[in-house]
Amino acid sequence: MSKKAKIIIYSILFILFAGLGISGGYFIAAIQDLPRIDQLKNYQPSLITKIYSDNGEVIAKFFRERRETVSLSDTPLSLREAFIALEDQNFYHHHGIDIKRILKAIWIDLITWSRSQGASTITQQLARSLFLTPKKTISRKIKEIILAIQIEKRYSKDEILKMYFNQIYFGQGVYGVGEAASFYFGKNVSELNLAESAFLAGIPRNPSYYSPLNHLSNALRRKNFVLQRMREVGFITKEEEDKAKKIPIKIVGLSDNKKRGNVYYAPYFAECVRKKIAQKYGYEMLWRGGLKVYTTLNLKMQQAAEEALIPYLKKKNFQGALIAVDPHTGFVKAMVGGRDFKESQFNRATQAYRQTGSAFKLFTYTAAIDSKRFTPVSPFYDAPIAFKYTREIRKIGEIKKKKELWSPQNYEKHYWGKVFLWQMLAHSINVASVRLLQEIGVGKVINYAKKMGIDSPLNYDLTLTLGSSSVTLLEMVKGYATIANYGIKMKPILIQKIKDSKGNILEENFPSGEAVISSQTSFIMIDLLKKVIDYGTGKRVRWLGFDRPCAGKTGTVGWPGEKDTDKTMDAWFIGFTPDLVAGVWIGKDDGSPLGEKLTGSAAAIPVWTKFMKESLKGKPTKDFPSPPGIVFKKIDIETGLLATPKSKEALWFAFLKGTSPKNHSYTKREMFKVSTFRVHNFQDKTQ
């Protein structure tokens, strides 16, 4: 052998062994940090947490990867065949890699000087998506092949296909064929036809380029190519291919998915639920755990709430809130926390602390009735009065005392003279109500407010009954719901039940109540609050055509500026029928005035009435049943005594047994002149 021939042979051998050495080095490097496929035993892809209404409608979804897992039996044969024809026609015949396909891809790449040919099997693609990065390197490819062979040894073809179908990416944050069918077609995956199956199979190769939301024409051409491949492989006939190509594809996500994101209804309610889940179960469980959360929200009522409140707020550039609760269960049925969730996520139904005005009088009058010292016809004098009190201001190391004089005013700027307790509440008479609070005791009324549903700190002074303390709408609705539920305070519930991804119940919340007021006292208050609507500040409810038995109370907080005493800062109305309590607050976040004469009656009642009309449409009309221990008496409203045939005006009132008037009315009501200005002492200690 010549010297030249030896050099050539040695050079070839060197290159060959060098190549083998390099390849061996890549192989050794690849297997050193090879992922362990036994992780697949506990394979749990990131799943969608779904929030449901009380009727099972999905109101929101929370996810990192938009995925709904499905079993292989749920996927139609056409979908399986579409993916196999396009991605791996020998799927059921190889052991993880397709040697012939690899060699063919290498040959085509060599003669075309490109790397365009894909040779990865479905098993290789699964290994890549689960354990590796998409970066194209020799090391990654070796790992992919080894992992695919290992997966094939441990799992059946159907198990591999199931994992693949639940792992594959379809763009728009959508993973898995189950969620893809829902997202793009609004269908369950089992309902897909041949054309839709081919359409979905064409997306994963390049989810951006073949996106039906961004490049529909590309996606449709890809669908036709998939159908062609299915025919070439022998899965469908030419006739079936031609027929499927003509079937129109309707993409339901074009508008809804762009516009609504992951919250479809009741964004303020959904956000409350999201926070509760995250706080209790953690962010990973919320965003990746695939929880099924069944809530108390009623979509019909929620829609009614939004239609009643939001247009009104936007028209006048106000903010506001509405919350509705079933008083017997505590289930929150509707919640609107502002005019636009995208504009502000601050929930004014649960997070805004505002003065309540006369809506707070509920607690003063409940304490009065429950004491049995007062009845609906207990007489009071509404006349000018001033309270002299010493305020203790405590600072670090010192206590200062300051003498002040406070004179409450009626909203109408006049005094009523002699009035009865029912009139004081019905017409929201401030001065007489302060006198009532003084007789009952501030501390006692605070205790009643606390046990009926108020959790916020309350002012320990005579302004309490005028609603000077700042509380939330939810707290006020809880208080009124306690009366509507005949003295049983229910815990507000947003979540009925939570299941994990395997169907195990993580929590279940049942109605939980505590008797805090007697049913008899509650019924007296119901009767008094009905008269607010029929004869007092709530008459607008009747003017607007709501004729069901109902009870409620307005609240108006005036602008504190000296020249703007007729301007309203907060407008409230909280009212209820036997089975539904709803509260409405209207205001501005910065506390600036709404305008003149926009009282609780003018601003809040129209929203409440519209909501209640729509929510109760089609439901039977019910009245409030009276409990044992209640008697009804017809009262002469001029004298407050039992009515006679000579009484000009008389109304039926409910009384606790043994507290109703004993005498009949035979004389005209004595008239009293308002001429006295009394000054009383009241001690107020503020820390």
Catalytic residues: 87, 358
Q: Which residue has the tokens 């979509």?
A: 299
Tell me the two tokens of residue 602: 């003018």
Residue among 307, 312, 298 nearest 269 (CA) = 298
- Among candidate residues 354, 316, 321, 314, the one with its CA nearest the CA of residue 337: 321
With contact defined as beta carbons under 8 Å apart, do 442 and 330 qualify? no
In DSSP terms, 401 is beta-bridged to 392
In order of 441, 445, 485, 491, the CA distances from 454 in angstroms are 18, 11, 16, 12
Kindly list the distances between the CA atom of residue 37 and the CA atoms of 43, 67, 121, 252, in Å, as whole numbers in the listed order.
10, 22, 17, 38
Structural tokens at position 276: 């509760």
Strand, helix or coil at 681?
strand
Strands 398-406 and 505-508: unpaired
Give 19's contacts (C-beta < 8 A, 6+ positions apart): none
The secondary structure element, H or E, covering residue 686 is strand 684-686
Helix locations, 113-237, DSSP H: 122-131, 138-154, 157-167, 177-185, 194-201, 216-233
Per-position b or e across 667-679, b if 16+ CB within 10 A of its CB: eeeeeeeeeeeee
The closest of 559, 563, 555, 560 to 603, measured between CA atoms, is 555
In degrees and rounded to multiples of 5, residue 100 shows phi and psi of -60, -40
Q: Which residue reads 């022998």 in tokens?
A: 234
Task: Please give the full DSSP string across 104-128, using - where no structure is assigned.
Answer: HHHHHHHHHT--------HHHHHHH
Q: Which two tokens stand for residue 303?
A: 């829609």
Nearest of 481, 463, 435, 475 to residue 557 by alpha carbon: 463
Residue 255 CB partners (closer than 8 Å, separation 6+): none
Cβ 575 vs Cβ 481: under 8 Å: no
User: What is the per-residue DSSP string for 524-568?
Assistant: HHHHHHHHHHHHSTTTHHHHTT--S--EEEEEEEE--STT-TTEE
Measured CA to CA, the distance from residue 568 to residue 600 in angstroms comes to 9
Q: Which residue has the tokens 């994101």?
A: 261
3-state secondary structure of 481: helix
Q: Output the furthest CA–CA distance in the chain (Å, rounded).
A: 146
Q: Residue 667 and residue 452: Cα distance in Å, rounded? A: 41
Q: Between 216-233 and 194-201, two packed helices, what is the crossing angle to 10 degrees?
A: 110
Q: How far is CA 148 from CA 69, 80, 127, 455, 590, in A?
A: 22, 19, 6, 60, 62
Element at 475 (helix H, strand E): helix 473-484
Residue 179 CB-half CA count within 13 A? 27
